[in-house]
């Protein structure tokens, strides 16, 4: 019997672009899906038009049912929480109040909670200690998943058998999930790459060119590795899909909200103007990552520069000049 047999019905909390895309991926893997949206209008659009408003031009099959009532997800065998990191606490608390404990909860958030310095699985475990937790991360755009384009990501849990079972249950020919027993490494890769994507966008926005971007990404990845290894991450995890793979994707494409945010900063927009009403997770992660690194004696000059720019303490050109003026040393 397959390890994935017990995960016949998947609950997805959050019907934004990424949540809808993951619901589609689970459906294509042969699972029944219950998709929860806070907005009743979103639920009605899915029911009537078979489309999620934030993932247009992609049809949602009848195997995906939509609801605005969290309790309707009670029969699900596993949950994917597809909300931003800064909203994960409220979502988890609501789930714990409305749903029975027992089924594993997979976070798809990529960040660190700004107020607490906690990673997604820590937030879930603190609020809902009765459930097993996992993290799903890696180089993936919602639009690509929605269109069924080939994508590979990582799913990690402290229990490797659980990670393997969930990965098998949610994988399909176009959506490949590799399993891992290193959730912290996967979480750190997903959080730090957003900060690096902002930095890469700034460099391109300033007109510094591709060579500068490549150098910045390489040095930024060295920061990611230092931070990750100091927090017990497996170096192999950081070199994998959820680390290096996601860095490559997010630092190279305007499809990345974080890269687009950095691009706008580099072109002279203020942090508020650069956001343009859209969420860039790295803008929340940079300050807490830099603060954590400083308190632990870990060098992260690029993350510190991004945090200072976002806080308005320094301009983009001044920040980049300071990075370029750092002492030369052995790589």
Domain region containing 47: 3-181
Domain assignment present for 329: no
The one catalytic residue among 193, 269, 278, 329: 193
Structural tokens at position 199:
């930095």
pLDDT at 111: 97
What is the rounded distance in angstroms from the CA atom of residue 78 to the CA atom of residue 94?
16
Domain assignment present for 201: yes
Domain assignment present for 330: no
177 lies in the same domain as 230 = no
268 lies in the same domain as 255 = yes
110 part of the active site: no
In the predicted model, residues of the chain with pLDDT beneath 50 are 1-3
98 lies in the same domain as 213 = no
177 lies in the same domain as 204 = no
133 lies in the same domain as 29 = yes
Last-in-domain residue among 153, 181, 209: 181
30 lies in the same domain as 120 = yes
124 lies in the same domain as 265 = no
Domain assignment present for 164: yes
Last-in-domain residue among 181, 203, 223: 181
94 lies in the same domain as 191 = no
191 lies in the same domain as 215 = yes
pLDDT at 1: 30
Which of 123, 110, 112, 106 is closest to 163 using CA atoms?
106
CATH number of the domain that 95 lies in?
A: 3.40.50.720
94 lies in the same domain as 217 = no
58 lies in the same domain as 111 = yes
CATH number of the domain that 239 lies in?
A: 1.10.1040.10
97 lies in the same domain as 228 = no
pLDDT at 3: 44
pLDDT at 5: 56
How are beta strands 64-67 and 78-81 bridged, if at all? unpaired
Which of 133, 52, 138, 44 is closest to 95 using CA atoms?
133
Domain assignment present for 331: no
Q: What is the pTM (predicted TM-score) of this model?
A: 0.95
pLDDT at 328: 61
- Residue 69 burial (C-beta neighbours within 10 Å; 0-12, 13-18, 19+): exposed
């Amino acid at each position: 019997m397959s390890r994935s047999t017990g995960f016949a019905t998947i609950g997805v909390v959050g019907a934004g672009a990424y949540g809808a895309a993951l619901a589609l991926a689970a459906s294509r893997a042969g699972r029944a899906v219950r998709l929860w949206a806070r907005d009743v209008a979103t639920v009605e659009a899915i029911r009537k038009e078979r489309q999620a408003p934030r993932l247009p031009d992609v049809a949602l099959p009848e195997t995906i049912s939509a609801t605005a009532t969290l309790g309707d997800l009670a029969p699900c065998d596993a949950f994917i929480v597809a909300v931003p990191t800064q909203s994960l606490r409220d979502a988890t608390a609501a789930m714990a109040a409305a749903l029975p404990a027992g089924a594993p909860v997979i976070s798809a958030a990529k960040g660190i909670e700004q107020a607490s310095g906690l990673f997604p699985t820590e937030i879930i475990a603190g609020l809902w200690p009765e459930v097993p937790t996992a993290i799903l991360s890696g180089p993936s755009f919602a639009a690509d998943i929605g269109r069924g384009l080939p994508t590979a990501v990582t799913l990690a849990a402290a229990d490797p058998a659980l990670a393997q079972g969930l990965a098998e249950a949610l994988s399909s020919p176009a959506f490949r999930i590799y399993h891992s027993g290193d959730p912290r490494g996967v979480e750190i890769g997903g959080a730090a790459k957003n900060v690096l994507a902002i930095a890469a966008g700034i460099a391109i926005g300033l007109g510094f060119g591709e060579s500068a971007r490549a150098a910045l990404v390489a040095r930024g990845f060295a920061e990611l590795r230092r931070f990750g290894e100091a927090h017990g991450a497996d170096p192999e995890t950081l070199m994998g899909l959820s680390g290096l793979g996601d860095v490559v994707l997010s630092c190279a494409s305007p499809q990345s909200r974080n890269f687009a945010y950095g691009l706008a900063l580099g072109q002279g927009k203020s942090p508020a103007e650069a956001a343009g009403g859209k969420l860039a997770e790295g803008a929340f992660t940079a300050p807490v990552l830099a603060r954590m690194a400083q308190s632990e004696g870990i060098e992260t000059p690029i993350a510190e520069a991004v945090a200072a720019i976002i806080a308005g303490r320094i301009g983009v050109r001044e920040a980049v000049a300071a990075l370029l003026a750092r002492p030369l040393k052995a790589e």
